[in-house]
Amino acid sequence: MSALIPVPALLIVFLLVPATVSAQSAPPVIGEIEVVSHEVFETGGTAPYRLANRLHVRTRERVVRNDLLFESGDPVDYELIEQTERNLRDLPFLRDARLETTEVDSDGDGATDRVDVRVTTWDRWTLSPRVDFQQVEDRTIWELGASEKNLLGFGKAITFSHRQNLDRTIDRLTYDDQQLFHTRNRLTATLSQLSDGYDRLFLIDRPFLSLRDPWTYTIGAGGFRRTDPIVEHGVEIDRLPHRGRWSDLAVGRAIVRRDAHAVRLLGAYRFRSDHVGAERREFGIAEVGLQAVSHRFVRLTHVNQFERTEDFNLGTESHVTLGLASEALGGAAGATFVAAGHQQGVVFDDDHFVILNAAVGGRREGALWRNLSASAGARYLLKPSPRTALIGRLDYVHGHRLDPEVQLRLGIESGLRGYPVRQFTGDRSLLLSIEERWFVADDVWQLLSLGVAGFFDSGFVWPEGAPVRIGDLRSAIGVSLLVGSHRLAARGGIRFDFGYALNPIDGVKRWVGSAFSDIGF
């Protein structure tokens, strides 16, 4: 057996690798930091809005300050200021955030001595019944429960729900803490009882919060038991019993930190155990990798979330990881795990761009690749006017010797509107979608935003062994009604789609309707 470096020692080495930071001339320092928070509804409104504001517990100032990536007296770093604004906008209990800077020349010599920062946030209503409804052709996905995403203003979230999806019924309790013990560590815990089993998850992590961050870590474990459906032509033909356990111990260290990009060294120990039918897979994996990230953000509205600001990174993100399984780490020996990916923005203008992506991943056992998947895709956006958006999507996935529980599926639930649920299955998938959106009204009565869309979809999934032929593509056209509320919901909104199949299937109606609780595309 080949000698292995003990995994804990290997992870410690990663944390001790020195980081390279680009040298810069001494900038002015951060001066006063003012935090201003706004209520859910505009002040001075009618009685129901005033009552809602009184009942709502506003996000506490210390929660916002804890997410600031700078302090008074720090050298001014505008990348950190901009990243702080993006991080705040990502919080599920805030509907928007803005950071404004003011240069101050305190000694009158004509040079800026300090920069004062004003942080302004707008709260979202966070205590609500959890009512989710999706009508997928003749099948209904629904959820009932309650959720508080900003418990007592501390940014903690707790949710319990009862959900019926396409495969099973789920009773779930989730706790999410984005500032564990008022630090930048995060905790997520989930307990789920399924109609065909259970699901458990426990995760503590500290992500890279900016390009300047020197390190990250993840500690997690979980397990599940369920039955995975096998589908053919939209009909479930079998179910595979599936029982699994997993655990992760991962660290990352930034070895290069520059103004607009970073390079990070990654290391991890991962344990994976899956019992699927009569097949058993168990691996203990030592993993190393590299990640390179560059930033080129644009800020837009009226794309996926109506008037709410969205941040799009048109820079690059690349990663590659290599994992080796060993008996000494638990499980079988002789497997090699490989994953790599790249994302690249192609910019024509700040509101006209394409985001390209490609990825590959799988494992090598002996002389064979298994569960190998390669994908390529593109997201296109053109905003001819502030309240319209032309959006395009192209996705191709090529699977090779996929594990028995893994199927590529395409139908109305996965983007091919106009065709039944999971109508096409196989190991190679292609989907092309084009959608024009018109955002008609924003924040009506401070409750709803409305829009309409027209779309064209074309796609297919080729069964194993069948050649890929463009002539096999099935196409559909249709219209959508878009409904959102950035004050009341963290997700983009609800869309009602009505698709018409241009290539009908025998015995299947041409018109297919659906409702989804997210308008993201």
Give pLDDT, residue 128: 78
Q: What's the rounded Cα separation, in Å, for the pair 255 and 20?
A: 6
Q: Which residue has the tokens 């001494």?
A: 26
Pairing outcome for strands 316-325 and 335-349: antiparallel
The terminus-to-terminus CA distance of the chain in angstroms comes to 49
Q: What's the rounded Cα separation, in Å, for the pair 255 and 264?
A: 6
Q: Which of 312-321, 402-411, 415-424 has the lowest mean pLDDT?
A: 415-424
Model-level pTM? 0.88
| Average pLDDT in the chain | 90
pLDDT in tens, 23-69: 445 679 999 999 999 999 987 778 888 888 888 899 999 999 999 99
- Confidence grade of residue 144 (pLDDT, cut at 50, 70, 90): confident
pLDDT in tens, 469-513: 999 999 999 999 999 888 886 666 788 899 999 998 887 788 887
The answer to whether the beta carbons of residues 91 and 119 sit under 8 Å apart is: no
Q: Is 185 exposed, middle or buried (0-12, 13-18, 19+ CB in 10 A)?
A: middle
- Confidence grade of residue 16 (pLDDT, cut at 50, 70, 90): low
Residue 189 has pLDDT above 90, yes or no: yes
Give pLDDT, residue 491: 63
Give pLDDT, residue 1: 40
Highest mean pLDDT among 256-260, 376-380, 483-487: 376-380
Residue 22 has pLDDT above 70, yes or no: no
- Kindly list the distances between the CA atom of residue 268 and the CA atoms of 7, 31, 391, 483, 490, in Å, as whole numbers in the listed order: 8, 40, 37, 42, 32
Q: Which of 199, 198, 175 is nearest to 187 (CA)?
A: 175
**Domain spans in the chain, listed from the N-terminal domain onward:** 20-123
Looking at the structure, give the CATH architecture of the domain made up of residues 20-123: Roll (3.10)
CA 328 to chain centre: 34
Give pLDDT, residue 137: 53
